[in-house]
Structure 1
């Protein structure tokens, strides 16, 4: 098969896969979740097999423990977070008004004068900005919630997702062998090398970043709870949950917690400083210990590229797209680096003169 026919074949296959995601994205969520669970737990299953446990008993043990932890979370942690979320949304307008009231008239006038505006215009702009931000956050939360309904429903959570994860985890090695048998024989070694690079990139980032999110969410929630901040558990877990988006999780969590702390503790500034120190410590731990040790630079993706992938896949495929955004971006990154290396070694880059000189030598 000529190179042109090969390119056409893979482009058509890619288009068919994207079309499949687009058509079936409303029902794919529990299956994608089950696949993600199986992928994350497969190394643990392999380690249990090395100890002498059969594959089926290793799968049952791991998946059973995972379901117990999931039930514990939904029965104990989620109701508390849900109550705090309801209270936060109910009190949000009052919090905004109280926060605006803490801004002194002199401060507003000085800032307005330096910006060439009147105090009334600046205060109106701030009110509109906060209102638009609150509206955007509300729409985002509503979109994520509506997109995650399938995952949170009893059917998908306690039936479909665990069943899919069980069968995929049980047959994972056989599926890998079967897919390996379908690879083109002429490019087998190269395709296997690319697959290993993709696996290292995806597994290293997803498993490492998931651990970072859990550690940071726990740290922020416990720290804010010890300070006595209202909605501390909600803010801390939310900041940890979205910390996989570079700079967004910590920045959003810091701004929200600082606003709540100003309303709650003012003029007791040491407690406000304590809230800031919690996020400063979390950022130090993330940047100097957690990220280098657990994640590193395994995807080879720039933070801006990562954020673009999350927004692009989320826009195209909804909540399912956000789940597959990072793995897909990591795979595309591996293929892009491979394509770049092929281009740099081709006459298209080196030129026909250098290629002819190389052949003559």
Structure 2
């Protein structure tokens, strides 16, 4: 097969895959979630097998423990988080008005020495910024809630996902062996090497970053609760979980928590600084301890590329796109680096023709 035919074949395959993904995006969530869960838990099953436990008992044990932990988390945390979320959404207008009063009141002269005659314009701009930000937040939360209830069947997600995860986890090794047997013999070694690179990138980021998010969510929630911040459990948990997207979760949590702290504690600025310190320590913890040890530096996913992939696939395919964004971004990165290596070694780049079959 010529190079042109190969390129055409793979481009058509990619187009068909994207089309199928787009057409079926409304019902793929439980299956993609089950596949992601099986991939995430496969190393645990392998370790239990090495300890002498059969694949079927290991799979039953892992899925059972996961379901038990999930159910307990829902029972213990879901009611509290839901009540805080409802109260937070209802309280956003009051917080916005309080921030506006804090920033625009003529009786407050705490910014005058720094801004002088620019103070009215700055106060007006900040007021508009807070108002627009609050409207965007409310629209996003309402859209997430209405869209989630309309597009995602909670029953199917809870029932189908564990079943899919169980069967995939049980047959994981056989599936990998079957796929490996389909590889073209001429390029098998190259494809295997690329697959290993993709697996290292995906596993290194997904499994490592999941641990980072859970630790940060627990830390932020506990820290904000100890400070006494309103909605501390909700804001801290969301900040930690959304840290899966580099910088986005921590920044959004910091801005939200700081805004709530100003309204709740001002003029007692010590507590506002305490809230800021919680996030500052969290950033140090993530940047110097958690990320280097759990994620590492060689996963091959640049933060900018990852953010683009998450937003692009999330926009195109919804929550299913968010689940597929990291694997597809990692695969694209590996293939791009492979193509770049081939290009740098090619005569087109070096200007030196390849030696012929008769060359010594």
**In which range does the TM-score fall when normalised by the shorter chain?**
over 0.9
Per-residue CA distance 1:93-124 (angstroms, 9 max, x = gap): 11111122223533566777665xx72x5444
- Alpha-carbon distance change, 333 to 157 in structure 1, aligned in 2, over 3 angstroms: same
TM-score of the superposed pair, with normalisation by structure 1: 0.92
- Alpha-carbon distance change, 234 to 202 in structure 1, aligned in 2, over 3 angstroms: same
Pairs aligned (count): 357
* Contact 2:26–2:152 (Cα < 8 Å) also in 1: no
* Contact 2:26–2:151 (Cα < 8 Å) also in 1: no
Q: Which runs of 5+ in 1 are unaligned?
A: none
What corresponds to 1:139 in structure 2? 139
Q: Which moved more, 1:10-19 or 1:269-278?
A: 269-278
* Contact 1:29–1:151 (Cα < 8 Å) also in 2: no
What corresponds to 2:250 in structure 1? 250
* Contact 2:246–2:303 (Cα < 8 Å) also in 1: yes
User: How far apart are residue 167 of structure 1 and its match?
Assistant: 0.7
* Contact 1:309–1:329 (Cα < 8 Å) also in 2: yes
- Alpha-carbon distance change, 162 to 325 in structure 1, aligned in 2, over 3 angstroms: same
User: How far apart are residue 37 of structure 1 and its match?
Assistant: 0.5
User: C-alpha distance in 2, partners of 1:82/1:111?
Assistant: 41
What corresponds to 2:88 in structure 1? 88
Per-residue CA distance 1:137-169 (angstroms, 9 max, x = gap): 233334444554489744223311111111111
User: How far apart are residue 299 of structure 1 and its match?
Assistant: 3.0
What corresponds to 2:323 in structure 1? 323
* Contact 1:144–1:319 (Cα < 8 Å) also in 2: no
Per-residue CA distance 1:209-230 (angstroms, 9 max, x = gap): 0000000000000011111110
The within-5 A match list for 1:1-361 is: 1-103=1-103, 105=106, 106=109, 119=120, 122-146=122-146, 148-149=148-149, 153-351=153-351, 353=352, 355=354
User: C-alpha distance in 1, partners of 2:275/2:208?
Assistant: 26
TM-score of the superposed pair, with normalisation by structure 2: 0.93
CA RMSD across the alignment: 2.3
Per-residue CA distance 1:176-216 (angstroms, 9 max, x = gap): 11111111111000000000000010011000000000000
Write 1 or 2 for the structure with the bigger share of helix: 1
Per-residue CA distance 1:310-345 (angstroms, 9 max, x = gap): 111111111111111111101100000000000000
User: C-alpha distance in 2, partners of 1:150/1:298?
Assistant: 39
User: C-alpha distance in 1, partners of 2:85/2:12?
Assistant: 45
Q: Which runs of 5+ in 2 are unaligned?
A: none
Q: Which moved more, 1:100-109 or 1:44-53?
A: 100-109
Q: Which moved more, 1:250-259 or 1:20-29?
A: 250-259
User: C-alpha distance in 1, partners of 2:152/2:11?
Assistant: 35
